[in-house]
Amino acid sequence: MAWVPRALRRAKLAARFSRSRRLEAGAAQVLAAAGYTVLDTQVTAPCRVTEDGAPVDADLRADYLVERRGRIFVAEAKSGPRATDLRERGTRRQLLEYATTYDVDGVLLVDMEAERVVEVAFPALARRTARAFWSGLLLGVVVGLAAALVWSYRSR
């Protein structure tokens, strides 16, 4: 009779996964109702990290690639009270991974429990991107001025 508790746990887990799949299948309708156009589903992107300097390649797979008002987003559908909570470590890490890997304008969490779409941003990542932009712009101006000085000096 030791198999009975295991069988009950398996049945409970199977029911939970079935519910999750059913809810997440409706994410396209939730996105459309929020004004997003679905461009693609189950979108993969290569993710390269290094381990002691050696490249390690992996693929990420997000649920949706969507567009609204000229902006492109990667969207992940979640169900369950914990999975849709941004304080939940796994959800937050997954969305952060998408934000740093996919070449998109933003990341969306499709909360299938509340049937709502939430745009998720990581302020530290945005600050880093802004710093890189301004640093690059400043470097471009300095190099441009130096090239102009060299050119004007040589043309005398």
pLDDT tens-digit profile, the chain (156 residues): 666 677 667 766 665 555 556 666 789 999 999 999 999 999 999 999 999 999 999 999 999 999 999 999 999 999 888 888 888 999 999 999 999 999 999 999 999 989 999 999 988 655 445 455 546 655 665 666 666 677 777 776
pLDDT of residue 118: 94
Domain boundary assignment for the chain? 3-121, 122-156
* Closest to 100 (Cα-Cα) out of 66, 68, 131, 128: 128
Is residue 62 within 8 Å of residue 77, measured between CB atoms?
Answer: no
Rounded to two decimals, the pTM is: 0.68
Sheet containing strand 54-68, edge to edge, reads 37-51, 54-68, 71-78, 106-111, 116-120
Render the burial of 121-150: b for 16+ CB within 10 Å, e for the rest. eeeeeeeeeeeeeeeeeeeeeeeeeeeeee
Q: Which CATH class is domain 3-121?
A: alpha beta
What is the residue type of 92?
R
Is residue 101 within 8 Å of residue 135, measured between CB atoms?
Answer: no
Using DSSP bridges, classify how beta strands 54-68 and 37-51 pair: parallel, antiparallel or unpaired. antiparallel
